[in-house]
């Protein structure tokens, strides 16, 4: 048998080379997919390629995890009462993913080699959303929000439709997640049967090429990031640096690996046609249905809210739609319990390394500080009910916000990469724990001692 791995030795980790090859191969295959004559052939092509990607890039028979866990969920929604099946699917899918994370920690502790857990994370989002959509389809329309009605499906799809959705190859390895309703409308052609499209898919070629180029532009920064070693942040040499700038460089460049993967995945999804999202006010086709990140808005965010809004948008939408809002009945205010459950679900979804939980706990404080700054400090830089900026002070406020957000995002993000509690404490020790003291101090000061302005401030200058 031909040992293809021997021919893929380009000086990069083999798993990453195979991942990129699958992403690139998805582009010509996406063009084939959109030209197939009917939904059944599209389902079969997605199943075949999705399983092949798993076998080729993640190891022989790694696809069994996605197949078995999906089949169990399909059986659950088929035989259990509709009023409870979505709960059991949610519990089972999260439990399967959690066991997978524990297994990975046991076999590759603190390693970054890609394995079946990567697509399993995306698959968990798809399986749970599928079960919720089916549950919503059985409820009266009066009990649903407009968004829930849009996402709902009325009946269990066929096995062919279901596994086509599961293994939809452009997004199978790296995401983002897709909705079962969107997938079925795409494969059946209903997505394009509106007044303007008239059943004909607009050309996605330019939009796909643009997204592909965005991904390629990220690649040089991945190369630079690959020359850096996170272990350096734990050494005395790093501690003796005057500005400790390399900590921020390490974390920032790591994000470009995600930008690259998401852009490459999105580009092939756009080329397949599934990313079609109607038309804008100028009559131009929109291809942002599966957009997962806006890197510039993340890197230049002036507050934590913008970071969470424009980073990993598919997962953020899943957490909001299927966790946070499900625990917040229509007409009621969000509770602390709903917020805590959402953060806990996000943490479990990522895995069980202490660094993940350190990051989520610390960013919870950062988020609360940002809320208090917006509520208690920002009013001094805008005026009136329209919040008209008071210049030049508002511009200065925004510039400082960008710098502070970037600094804290990278500082706290280091724990996400260092993974362990011990390594994170060593890293924090280099900073004498001063940033953490500042964070908790700012939270206490703003939350309990700084009052919110009672009246609008008048402009000091035009």
Which DSSP letter does residue 327 get? G
| Per-residue pLDDT band at 10 (split at 50, 70, 90) | low
H/E element holding 408? helix 393-418
Distance CA 322, CA 314 (A): 12
Q: Distance (Å, rounded) from C-alpha 242 to C-alpha 214?
A: 34
The predicted pLDDT at position 462 comes to 38
So where are the chain's domains?
A: 1-188, 318-448
Q: How far apart are CA 273 and CA 203, in angstroms?
A: 8
pLDDT band with cut points at 50, 70 and 90 for residue 381 = very high
Whole-number Å distance between alpha carbons of 18 and 343: 33
Q: Which of 65, 86, 101, 350 is catalytic?
A: 350
Which candidate, 180, 49, 52, 54, places its Cα nearest to that of 117?
Answer: 54
H or E element in which residue 388 lies:
strand 388-389
What is the helix (H) or strand (E) element at residue 389, kind and residue range? strand 388-389
User: Angle at which helices 159-166 and 39-58 pack, to 10 degrees?
Assistant: 40
Percent of the chain past pLDDT 90, that is, above it, reads 73
Indicate the pLDDT class of residue 235, thresholds 50, 70 and 90.
confident
As a residue count, the chain comes to 462
Written as six digits, the tokens of 460 are 């000091």
Burial zone of 125 (CB within 10 Å; 0-12 exposed, 13-18 middle, 19+ buried)? buried
For residues 417 and 441, the answer to whether their CB atoms sit within 8 Å is no
CA nearest neighbour of 305 among 231, 390, 251, 372: 372
Q: Residues 297, 303, 304, 305: is their CA dihedral positive or negative?
A: negative
Give the pLDDT score at 226: 84
The pLDDT tens digits of the residues spanning 216-229 come to: 999 999 999 888 88
219 alpha-carbon distance from chain centroid = 19
Residue 283, CA atoms < 13 Å, CB-side half-sphere: 3
The proportion of the chain whose per-residue pLDDT surpasses 70, expressed as a percent, equals 95
Indicate if the pLDDT at residue 21 is higher than 50.
yes
Q: Measured between alpha carbons, how far is 320 from 419 in angstroms, rounded to an integer?
A: 26
Residue 458 has pLDDT above 60, yes or no: no
Residue 333 has pLDDT above 80, yes or no: no
What value does the mean pLDDT take over residues 337-342? 81
Active site (annotated) includes residue 65: no
| 293-302 as b/e: b if 16+ CB within 10 A | bbbeebbebb
Q: What is the pLDDT of residue 6?
A: 58
At 61-116, the pLDDT tens digits run: 999 999 999 999 999 999 999 999 999 999 999 999 999 999 999 999 988 888 99
Angle at 130 between CA 51 and CA 272, to 5 degrees: 50
Task: Compute the average pLDDT of residues 320-347.
Answer: 83
Instruction: Tell me the backbone φ, ψ of residue 66, rounded to 5 degrees.
Output: -65, -40
423-457: pLDDT as tens digits: 999 999 999 999 999 999 999 999 999 998 875 54
**Residue 16 and residue 26: Cα distance in Å, rounded?**
15
For 347-366, the DSSP string reads HHHH-S-HHHHHHHHHHHHH
Question: Rounded to two decimals, what is the model's pTM?
Answer: 0.92
Considering Cα of 188, then 194, then 198, then 204, what sign does the dihedral take? negative
Please report how many Cα atoms fall inside a 13 Å half-sphere around the Cα of residue 22, on the Cβ side: 25
DSSP label of 334:
P
Average pLDDT over the chain reads 91
């Amino acid at each position: 048998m031909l040992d293809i791995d021997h021919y893929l030795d380009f000086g990069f980790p083999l798993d990453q080379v195979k991942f990129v090859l699958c992403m690139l191969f998805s582009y010509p295959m996406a063009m084939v997919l959109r030209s197939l004559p009917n939904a059944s052939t599209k389902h079969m092509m997605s199943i075949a390629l999705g399983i092949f990607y798993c076998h080729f890039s993640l190891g022989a028979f790694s696809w069994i995890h996605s197949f078995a866990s999906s089949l169990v969920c399909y059986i659950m929604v088929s035989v259990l009462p509709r009023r409870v099946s979505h709960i059991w699917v949610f519990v089972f899918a999260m439990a399967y993913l959690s066991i997978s994370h524990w297994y990975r920690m046991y076999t590759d502790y603190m390693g970054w080699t890609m394995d079946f857990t990567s697509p399993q994370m995306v698959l968990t989002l798809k399986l749970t959303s599928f079960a919720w959509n089916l549950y919503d389809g059985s409820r009266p329309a009066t009990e649903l929000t407009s968004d829930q009605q849009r996402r709902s499906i009325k009946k269990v799809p066929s096995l062919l439709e279901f596994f086509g959705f599961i293994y939809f190859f452009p997004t199978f390895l790296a995401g983002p997640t897709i909705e079962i309703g969107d997938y079925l409308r795409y494969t059946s052609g209903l997505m394009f049967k509106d007044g303007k499209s008239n059943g004909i898919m607009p050309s996605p070629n330019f939009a796909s090429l643009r997204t592909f180029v965005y991904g390629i532009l990220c690649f040089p920064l991945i190369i630079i990031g690959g020359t850096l070693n996170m272990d350096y942040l734990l050494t005395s040499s790093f501690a003796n640096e005057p500005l400790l700038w390399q900590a921020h460089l390490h974390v920032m460049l790591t994000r470009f690996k995600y930008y690259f993967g998401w852009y490459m995945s999105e580009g092939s999804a756009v080329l397949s046609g599934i990313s079609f999202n109607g038309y804008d006010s100028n009559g131009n086709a929109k291809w942002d249905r599966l957009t997962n990140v806006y890197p510039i808005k993340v890197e230049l965010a002036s507050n934590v809210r913008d970071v969470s809004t424009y980073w990993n948008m598919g997962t953020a939408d899943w957490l909001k739609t299927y966790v946070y809002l499900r625990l917040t009945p229509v007409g009621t205010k969000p509770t602390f319990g709903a917020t805590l459950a959402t953060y806990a679900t996000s943490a479990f979804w990522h895995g069980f390394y202490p660094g993940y939980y350190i990051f989520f706990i610390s960013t919870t404080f950062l988020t609360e500080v940002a809320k208090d700054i917006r509520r208690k400090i920002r009013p001094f830089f805008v005026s009136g009910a329209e919040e008209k900026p008071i210049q030049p002070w508002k511009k200065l406020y925004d510039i400082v916000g960008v710098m502070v957000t970037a600094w804290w995002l990278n500082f706290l993000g280091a724990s996400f990469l260092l993974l362990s509690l011990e390594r994170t404490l060593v890293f924090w020790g280099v900073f004498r724990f001063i940033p953490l003291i500042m964070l908790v101090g700012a939270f206490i000061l703003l939350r309990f001692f700084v009052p919110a302005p009672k009246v609008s401030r008048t402009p000091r200058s035009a």
